[in-house]
Chains A and B, each alone.
Chain A
Amino acid sequence: MAGLTCDQVFASKFRCPNTIAVDVAAGIPFIFTSSQTFQNIPDNGLIFTQGGSGPGCVLIHYSADVFSSDTPDNVMVVRPLLDSATLATPSQVVFTADDDEDSDGLFFRSQAFQFLFPAVAPGQHQIVMQWRSVGGTVINMHGRTMTVTHQ
């Protein structure tokens, strides 16, 4: 591993038995931000109780109608955050970017991704989706759904 970053080499597989519960947080209202630091996405946070007798998987599936910006080359990054501190694998993704290459201000598109927390202890936890604008120009979101599948 010496001399290599995680992004260059990381690949892994996980077994998630007894992952039987699903919690969902969905929002509809139009929202936007120009924050270059991560901000909570309104309506996409929830508290869930991880079951079982030992740590287990929590799988996040996130879907949203998004539009990066009418400013060229802006990038929208999203991530889930567990208990205000724990990052998933992958930790974040480019959810959408440079959506308006003909500069007509159109259109929203649905994007989706899934993230894994492989070892979450039994008990109550908080999960929230966050987003940020890499370039600092406005990024936009409409309908959005976060599903949390857990023990």
Chain B
Amino acid sequence: MRPSLRVLVFSLSLAAMQTTAVAVKAAVVNCSRLANIEVAVALNAITTFSQTFVNVPDMTLSFTQGGTSSGCVLVRYSAEVLSSPGTSGDNDQMIVRPLLDGSIQSVPPQSDLTSDDDEDHDRRFLRAHSFEFLFASVSPGPHTIVMQWRGTQSSVMNKRSRVTTVLHR
């Protein structure tokens, strides 16, 4: 049996970071018996200009949470990505998040998977990035995870190979 996963969660307040006192919230969550893994893999190139979250194609996974009470679900997302400069200029950010059952957000709720990747404006290259997200209390039964992404400006966001894994009971 895999040892229990202990997930340390930090939540930094951006407003607090701008002051001398940095507010840090932390929690340790025991995630035992995550013996089941669902995997979605896609290899085709995709892009978006959206500044609101849209689903990442082929990255939706349905699973059945086991057990008799609520428990952890851990989502690990990897992708080859590039944030390209667009008409609005540099410094665009690619934000990704998993969404559980259409509305429930993880901890952390989202990640800056990459940003400002093309400072010499040659539109090269994709690079591999990865991040882990936790849903600390998911009830037994069927659920759906979908990965979503957006840009912070109107620049094009590019992805190629991408893998979502959902670890659950």
Considering the complex, which residues of chain A in the window 15-66 have a beta carbon less than 8 Å from any beta carbon of chain B? 15-22, 57, 59, 61, 63
Indicate whether A112 sits within 8 Å of B124 (C-beta atoms), given known contacts A13-B61, A16-B39, A90-B43: no
What is the CA–CA distance of A78 and B122 in the complex, to the nearest angstrom? 23
CB–CB A7/B35 < 8 A: no
Q: Which of B37, B39, B127 contacts A95 (CB 8 A)?
A: B127
CB–CB B130/A20 < 8 A: no
Please classify the interface of chain A as helix (H, G, I), strand (E, B), loop, or mixed, using the class held by over half of its residues: strand
Indicate whether A90 sits within 8 Å of B161 (C-beta atoms), given known contacts A11-B43, A11-B58, A111-B129: yes
Please classify the interface of chain B as helix (H, G, I), strand (E, B), loop, or mixed, using the class held by over half of its residues: strand
Q: Which of A21, A57, A95 contacts B128 (CB 8 A)?
A: A95
Chain B interface category by residue count: 20 to 34
CB–CB A13/B43 < 8 A: no
CB–CB A90/B127 < 8 A: no
CB–CB B163/A114 < 8 A: yes
**Within 8 Å of chain A (Cβ to Cβ): is B47?**
no
Chain A interface category by residue count: 35 or more
A141 to chain B, nearest CB (A): 13
What is the CA–CA distance of A114 and B165 in the complex, to the nearest angstrom? 9
**Within 8 Å of chain A (Cβ to Cβ): is B14?**
no
Indicate whether A94 sits within 8 Å of B119 (C-beta atoms), given known contacts A13-B61, A15-B38: no
CB–CB A17/B35 < 8 A: yes
B82 to chain A, nearest CB (A): 9
What are 29 contact pairs spanning A and B, CB under 8 A? A7-B44, A10-B41, A10-B43, A11-B44, A11-B58, A12-B41, A13-B40, A13-B61, A14-B40, A15-B39, A16-B37, A18-B36, A20-B35, A59-B39, A61-B76, A73-B122, A73-B124, A90-B163, A94-B160, A97-B125, A98-B120, A98-B122, A98-B124, A102-B119, A112-B78, A112-B128, A113-B78, A113-B80, A113-B163
B residues contacting A by CB (< 8 A) are 1-2, 35-45, 57-58, 61, 76, 78, 80, 119-120, 122, 124-130, 160-161, 163, 165
A residues contacting B by CB (< 8 A) are 6-22, 57, 59, 61, 63, 72-73, 75, 78, 89-90, 93-98, 101-102, 111-116, 118, 149
5 tightest A-B CB contacts, nearest first: A97-B125, A112-B130, A11-B58, A11-B42, A16-B37
